[in-house]
Amino acid sequence: MPKVVFRIPTPALFAALAAAVCATPVAWAAPGLQAIYLLPAAFAWWVLRNRTTVDGERIVARGTFGGRVVPWSDVKAIKVVPKGWLSAVLTDDSLVRLPAVRAAHLPMLSQVSGGRVADPTAVSATAEAEEEPAGPDRDETPPPVKSEE
């Protein structure tokens, strides 16, 4: 059974490393400022922890401090947010956020779910195939005729 793991790209950890390196002069300027290292460490934890695992039977959404397992039978729909993470709408109308899953992942999500999630690219491809090819765009008015005087 295929399984897909959606996660935040690991190169984001370079940002945490860069922040830790840049914070070093400030962190060692006075006693107690070493706590500033908690910010890059928290960001690294967030990158490593947030993920969504999807297979044919269930969705496992793991957030920063917890996780949730949702069987496909409890999923009514997928809420699509154009510039954010998707959410699963459950049969009781509650939402479960799917970390690291974006609208661009819908075709893969559809394939792994066994068709429980509609693939928007397949729908548009089918609609385009059903349309009859149109002729070249023509202007209905005849072109102006040049008169020789």
- Structure confidence by residue, pLDDT tens digits, 17-39: 999 999 999 999 989 999 999 99
Domain ranges across the chain: 3-117
Choosing among 3.30.70.100, 2.40.50.140, 2.30.29.30, 3.40.50.10190, the CATH entry for 3-117 is 2.30.29.30
Distance CA 88, CA 74 (A): 9
pLDDT value at residue 130: 60
Considering only CA atoms, which of 32, 10, 37, 35 is closest in space to residue 21? 37
* pTM given for the model: 0.73
pLDDT tens sequence across 51-101 = 999 998 999 999 999 999 999 999 999 999 888 899 999 999 999 999 999
